[in-house]
Amino acid sequence: MARPQSDAALLEGVRAICHCLDQADDRQGYELDWRGRRFGRALGVALPATVEEVSRLVGYCGRHRIAIVAQGGNTGLCGGAVPTGDGRDRQLILSLRRMNRIRRIDPLTDSLIVEAGVLLQEVQQAADGADRLFPLSLGAEGSCTIGGNIATNAGGNAVLRYGNMRDLVLGLEVVLPSGEIWHGLRSLRKDNAGYDLKQLFIGSEGTLGIITAAALKLFPPLRQVDTALLALPSCEAALSLLKALQTREDVPLTAFELISAESVRLVGEQFPDKSFPLEPGHPAYVLVEAGWTGPCREDAFEQCLERVWGACGVVDAVVAKSDAQAAALWFWRESITEAQLRAGPHLKHDISLPIADIPEFVEQMDATLRSRFPGLRIVNFGHMGDGNLHYNLNAAPGVTADTLQAWQPEIERLIYDHVAERQGSFSAEHGIGQTKMDDLARYRSAVELNLMSVIKSSLDPEGLFNPGKIVGQRPFDTDGDEAF
Ligand code: FAD
Ligand code: MLT
Ligand code: ZN
């Protein structure tokens, strides 16, 4: 097969299949990641509108050795959705944003079939319109897509009750690197017919297949939701509050989010028109949410908080009296990511730990980092209810981006080694993308890495799906690994 000589000729072939942006100004927003840290020059941005167009596009790219970078809302935090390199190796962004139809909603089987480019918020609204709940919820829900959520196995705020994205998927439609379409959109609750293939694509970050549609689980709607922000004397106290609430069957928790005093300070600095509803400066705050599917006493939540108050050392609290007040409380949790970005140079550590280890981890890590790097602001927050901390850092005034970058390897090693010692994970919910490939190679065993490479090379032997993300195709040295 003759290879077209120029990018222009290649793009003409893409345009014959679907809508495509190729001007630098139009490509820009797709080539730079949300954090503004990873930029890769794309051949163009293809915007197919149907699964057949995706299939033809993948076939065409395969014949011409054009790499494909799938993209949803481009809110990913590990640089997975943007190309790598300066364009010489020809990477085409395949945006799913035009595949945005809700194909079917079926309240009777509690399922919903949506195309990959539907925004998470639109999925939630569609479920709501059918008097059902789609529970995945995260700060970027107004811009991220369900395809991106599946490709990253997103977590978010309601995992402690409903699980990660993986737990919410019943079936998938996927275009494989061969161009074949896998029609796996089954809405069954039971299906043990061989390997569970959908699981391969969930969390694969565009490296194994292009997810074009998904069958999702729906849940009974929440008839009453209560939200409170509590101030606590320590992380230890936050843990005992979590345990106390989890042992009470009368308060069905949907979220338990930790917010450190430094996180509050940072949000306050970046959003000066907002006022924090409690006295600032307490060592820890938690945002607690409970949701009832059936009838409950209106004051059940407040009464429960009163009962656990003393034993858990709660210092102060505010309970939302309206949806608007609840949203105002959530603002202090959901705006931390944006505040970190606005504040300048920062590092992210999306870690998970056995929940009982969190207070000791935080105490030890804070002390280590404070003594070794006095110019750091420790912006620790996250989904404490499922053991997931965003143990993030911002540069203090006077610390430049170059300095923070120079410190980064040592800081990451300190944090991730400590996490590994406690049998935790260096990537709880954001994935690997470009930014954590070295960490994956360091913290996962050769057996695991080789399995990943084998899966990658059997599905995508030419390595054209999202190259430079998650895992390459090199074999890993198994010397010294466990032998059985
Ligand atoms: P993108 O960023 O476009 O893509 C992410 C990865 O998936 C890339 O590797 C891409 O190639 C691949 N991909 C995208 N679509 C497809 C597809 N259809 N088929 C195959 N591969 C595809 N994440 C959490 O888990 N929990 C949080 O609480 C959370 N909070 C956030 C808050 C903010 C303010 C921001 C900016 C981000 C947050 N994120 C969070 C990260 C991000 O929103 C999630 O990773 C989200 O799932 C990404 O969806 P997206 O559509 O933007 O995907
Ligand atoms: C969040 O939960 O707000 C994000 O996943 C955290 C982050 O941006 O580091
Ligand atoms: Zn998160």
Closest ligand relative to 139 C-alpha: 1
State how beta strands 253-260 and 376-383 pair: antiparallel
Could you give the number of structural domains in the chain? 3
For atom 27 of ligand 1, the residue with the nearest CA is 156
Given a cut of 60, whether residue 2 has pLDDT beyond it is no
Mean pLDDT of 159-168: 98
Question: For residue 249, what pLDDT band results from cuts at 50, 70 and 90?
Answer: confident
Do 196 and 110 share a structural domain? yes
- Cβ-proximal residues to 343 (8 Å cutoff; 6+ apart), any chain: 266, 269, 270, 394
Instruction: Look up the CATH number of the domain holding residue 300.
Output: 3.30.70.2190
Do 186 and 108 share a structural domain? yes
Tell me whether residue 289 is in a domain: yes
Q: Is 155 in the pocket of ligand 1 (CB under 6 A)?
A: yes
Tokens in use for 420? 């590994």
Given a cut of 70, whether residue 480 has pLDDT beyond it is no
pTM, two decimal places: 0.96
Ligand 2 centroid – CA 421 distance (Å)? 23
Instruction: Look up the CATH number of the domain holding residue 183.
Output: 3.30.465.10
Report pLDDT digits (tens) over 111-129: 999 999 999 999 999 999 9
Neighbours of 405 (CB within 10 A): 12
pLDDT of res. 250: 83
* Mean pLDDT value across the chain: 95
Do 187 and 113 share a structural domain? yes
Tell me whether residue 108 is in a domain: yes
Do 386 and 308 share a structural domain? no
Q: Is 463 in the pocket of ligand 2 (CB under 6 A)?
A: no
For atom 7 of ligand 2, the residue with the nearest CA is 337
Tell me whether residue 3 is in a domain: no
Report pLDDT digits (tens) over 383-404: 999 999 999 999 999 999 999 9
User: Could you say which of 173, 193, 217 is where a domain stops?
Assistant: 217
Tell me whether residue 292 is in a domain: yes
Tell me whether residue 409 is in a domain: yes
pLDDT of res. 73: 98
Task: Dump strand ranges (E) for 18-88.
Answer: 19-21, 45-47, 67-71
For atom 53 of ligand 1, the residue with the nearest CA is 148
Ligand 1 centroid – CA 205 distance (Å)? 9
Mean pLDDT of 412-425: 98
Tell me whether residue 159 is in a domain: yes
The atom number, within ligand 2, closest to the CA of 383 reads: 2
Do 108 and 209 share a structural domain? yes
For atom 38 of ligand 1, the residue with the nearest CA is 140
E strand or H helix that includes residue 225 = strand 224-232
Question: For residue 479, what pLDDT band results from cuts at 50, 70 and 90?
Answer: very low
Neighbours of 450 (CB within 10 A): 17
Q: Is 72 in the pocket of ligand 1 (CB under 6 A)?
A: yes
Question: For residue 474, what pLDDT band results from cuts at 50, 70 and 90?
Answer: very low
Ligand 1 centroid – CA 150 distance (Å)? 8
Tell me whether residue 12 is in a domain: no
Do 204 and 228 share a structural domain? no
Q: How many whole angstroms separate alpha carbon 200 and alpha carbon 158? A: 23
Indicate if the alpha-carbon torsion angle 415, 473, 171, 94 is positive or negative: positive
pLDDT of res. 1: 52
Do 330 and 261 share a structural domain? yes
pLDDT of res. 11: 97
Tell me whether residue 237 is in a domain: yes
Instruction: Look up the CATH number of the domain holding residue 399.
Output: 3.30.70.2740
Given a cut of 90, whether residue 3 has pLDDT beyond it is no
User: Could you say which of 165, 188, 217 is where a domain stops?
Assistant: 217
Domain interval for residue 230: 224-337
Do 330 and 352 share a structural domain? no
The atom number, within ligand 2, closest to the CA of 77 reads: 8
Q: Is 245 in the pocket of ligand 1 (CB under 6 A)?
A: no
Report pLDDT digits (tens) over 205-246: 999 999 999 999 999 999 999 999 999 999 999 999 999 999
pLDDT of res. 60: 98
The atom number, within ligand 1, closest to the CA of 77 reads: 41
Mean pLDDT of 422-445: 97
Do 135 and 188 share a structural domain? yes
Whether residue 188 contacts residue 171, with contact meaning beta carbons closer than 8 Å, is answered with yes
Do 267 and 208 share a structural domain? no
User: Could you say which of 321, 337, 353 is where a domain stops?
Assistant: 337
Q: Is 44 in the pocket of ligand 1 (CB under 6 A)?
A: no
Question: For residue 248, what pLDDT band results from cuts at 50, 70 and 90?
Answer: confident
Closest ligand relative to 467 C-alpha: 1
Q: How far is CA 482 from the centre of its chain?
A: 31
Closest ligand relative to 152 C-alpha: 1
Do 187 and 267 share a structural domain? no
Do 359 and 261 share a structural domain? no
Q: Is 147 in the pocket of ligand 1 (CB under 6 A)?
A: yes
pLDDT of res. 478: 43
Q: Is 136 in the pocket of ligand 1 (CB under 6 A)?
A: no
pLDDT of res. 75: 98
Q: Is 56 in the pocket of ligand 2 (CB under 6 A)?
A: no
Which residue, chain included where needed, has tokens 């004397």?
233
Report helix angle 300-312 to 235-246, nearest 10.
Answer: 140
